[in-house]
Chains A and B, each alone.
Chain A
């Protein structure tokens, strides 16, 4: 089915480990985004991408790395996970009138 999918949906890891969250969209949208959502903070933008091989920092990029070798994929990597990165992560792509469509989310716990 067309849409935006994230994997894994749930992940438990340990401090210091590398974690990659995957995001795949089938709409061929140019723009893609990664947000984290925490109680009291709402949605905060981590990184975004305007097209393949074009990425830019958002509000809270420290500790995260992104890449976009193909239009449909936008993985988010935590190179050395910390407890403060325990969160729910949402990937989104942007439609032609500026609206965002979100994936189902990835719930990450860092022990």
Chain B
């Protein structure tokens, strides 16, 4: 069973701080990694994808991938109250399907 694990949270950070969200996966052959943001009552929205080891930056978001340690993380710099949401990690192990973690709920306090 291919698994993706995330801390359920809630993770609470003050406005302007860095929020760090972590995800581990069980299948060493995993190739593609995605972060989704889901606001309450809404559908998941893709915010980052990463395919190779290292960091990938997009605005205030940085995705980090370490295949040797089988983890992927998402950093949100200068966190804003509008970043408050549940963040889902998703991993593709070479099949047609993505395996999702259960998500980490982030709250950014003004």
Contacts and interface: CB of A to CB of B under 8 A. Distances in A.
Interface in B72-109: 88, 90, 92, 96-98, 100-103
Given A90-B43, A97-B49, A101-B46, A43 B97 contact: no
Contacts of A58: 97
Interface string A78-105: 0000000000001000100111111111
A104 B102 CA distance: 19
Contacts, number: 46
Nearest to A43: B100
A103 B101 CA distance: 19
Nearest to B102: A42
B88 A45 contact: no
Contacts of B88: 42-43
Interface residues of A, number: 21
A43, A58, A90, A97 — which one has the most chain B CB atoms within 10 A of its CB?
Answer: A43
B32 interface: yes
Interface string A25-65: 00000010100000011110100101000000010000000
A103 B96 contact: no
Contacts of B32: 97-99
Interface of B: 32, 34, 42-46, 49, 51, 88, 90, 92, 96-98, 100-103
30 contacts: A31-B96, A33-B97, A40-B102, A41-B102, A42-B100, A42-B101, A42-B102, A42-B103, A43-B44, A43-B88, A45-B97, A48-B97, A50-B96, A58-B97, A97-B32, A97-B49, A98-B34, A98-B49, A98-B92, A98-B98, A99-B34, A99-B46, A99-B49, A100-B34, A100-B46, A100-B98, A101-B46, A102-B45, A103-B43, A105-B42
Interface of A: 31, 33, 40-43, 45, 48, 50, 58, 90, 94, 97-105
